[in-house]
Chains A and B, each alone.
Chain A
């Protein structure tokens, strides 16, 4: 099993729809989880941290399921500007290197 796995997509979703991504991780002791967004030809930018209790930021909701070892990202009322690649990031411990998923490409269609 790969350390971090994501569905590469692309997800082609009509504007206004709700879309969800999952990301699975193999190390059950992993401590920190993040979702990053990367636009074409740009650097990755932090979208959300993912906490055990789940967290919400506007149209975005991130959740962590430790029992099943996955994190999820839900985007509601999707906008054209949400089109990007979404990277799942897992950090096994404070001193460990970051592990990136390969990213899920999202295309919001007008």
Chain B
């Protein structure tokens, strides 16, 4: 299965600032996914990042708040913009193994605390 390197692993940020999270995959993948997981909750899909096109956002998530870059088939970034305490969460990237048929692999997550 793919190996994902996600950075940073955690950060504490001031409200109103932005944080960019990076995910590097050891193989080329068509789609990368960004999730948010709030304490005690399951994962919520933020958006799907496709190389060469705009990311596809889920209901409740907008590009201005969560801009995504996907410059190539092994890398993506998610920015959490103009942060508020409500953005405190764990953010995870994910890729499908062989198109998702064999499951999905997750990055180790970024634990974000906004103060």
Contacts and interface: CB of A to CB of B under 8 A. Distances in A.
Interface residues of B, number: 22
B106 interface: yes
B33 A44 contact: no
Nearest to A31: B101
A1 interface: no
A62 B4 CA distance: 26
Given A43-B108, A46-B105, 9 more contacts: A34-B103, A34-B104, A36-B103, A41-B111, A42-B108, A46-B104, A87-B43, A97-B58, A98-B104
Interface in A29-59: 32, 34, 36, 41-46, 49
Contacts, number: 46
Given A100-B43, A101-B42, A102-B42, A46 B109 contact: no
B45 interface: yes
Interface string B32-45: 01000000011101
A97 B45 contact: yes
A91 interface: yes
B100 A32 contact: yes
A44 B100 contact: no
Main secondary structure of the interface of B (DSSP, over half): loop
A94 B100 contact: yes
Given A42-B109, A43-B109, A87-B42, A94 B103 contact: no
Given A32-B100, A43-B92, A91-B100, A98 B45 contact: yes
B1 A97 contact: no
B107 A43 contact: yes
27 contacts: A32-B100, A32-B101, A34-B103, A34-B104, A41-B111, A42-B108, A43-B108, A44-B43, A44-B106, A46-B1, A46-B103, A46-B104, A49-B102, A49-B103, A89-B103, A89-B104, A94-B99, A97-B48, A98-B33, A98-B45, A98-B100, A98-B104, A100-B42, A101-B42, A102-B41, A102-B42, A103-B42
